[in-house]
Amino acid sequence: MASSPKQITTSCPFPFNSPSSLLCLLHLPELLIQLNPLVTSFQLVSPASPASSSCSNYSITDRVPLLFGYLSTSTTYTARFTPTPDGQIVNIKAGLGISTRSVWKVEELEGESGGSLVTETSEVSVAGGWLWSWLLKGFVEGQIKESHGVLMRRLKEKVEEIKKEE
């Protein structure tokens, strides 16, 4: 029995940044992978076709903290990145029946300063018995909230770094 998905949303305003410049960054899977603080290594498994905007698949290894950071373990999973006109969709298949779907979107902010808003909405599902699903799903959701908050902050830092170089 699979658990029902709960949405986890992380967003960050990027004042004075156009949606098109942010969209270019979101269409770089390796950048998103490298900005995740849990990732220790990754490898392209199947590249996107240069003639189309098809998906690319990566094998990614995370170092996951356990027991409040006193221990950690490694886990390797497959991630499929599919660019969209307004962002990126990332589907993950991991061990223990875990799957996630993250939708990244860039929206233009209205107002005097303008800019853009980057939002990531993730859903986690876990196959298995209700107790196992409930425990594991809560752990994975907590890891996503924490690590993707850092990822979003690092994305903002990367954008600021690029702007300084221009």
How confident is the model at residue 111, as a pLDDT? Answer: 73
Burial of 57 (0-12, 13-18, 19+ CB in 10 A): middle
Confidence of residue 43 (pLDDT cuts 50, 70, 90): very high
For 15-35, write each residue's pLDDT tens digit.
878 888 899 999 999 999 999
Length of the chain: 166
Report the chain's mean pLDDT, rounded to a whole number.
88
pLDDT over threshold 50, residue 7: yes
Q: Kindly give the pairing relationship between strand 56-66 and strand 7-14.
A: unpaired
Could you state, in order of their start, the residue ranges of all structural domains in the chain? 7-36+86-165
| 3-state DSSP assignment of residue 62 | strand
Predicted TM-score (pTM) of this structure: 0.88
Residues 6+ apart with CB under 8 A from 68: none
Domain boundaries 7-36+86-165, corresponding CATH code: 3.30.530
Residue in 10, 14, 23, 29 with CA at minimum distance from that of residue 147: 10
Residue 97's identity, in one-letter code, is: G
pLDDT over threshold 50, residue 1: no
| 3-state DSSP assignment of residue 28 | coil
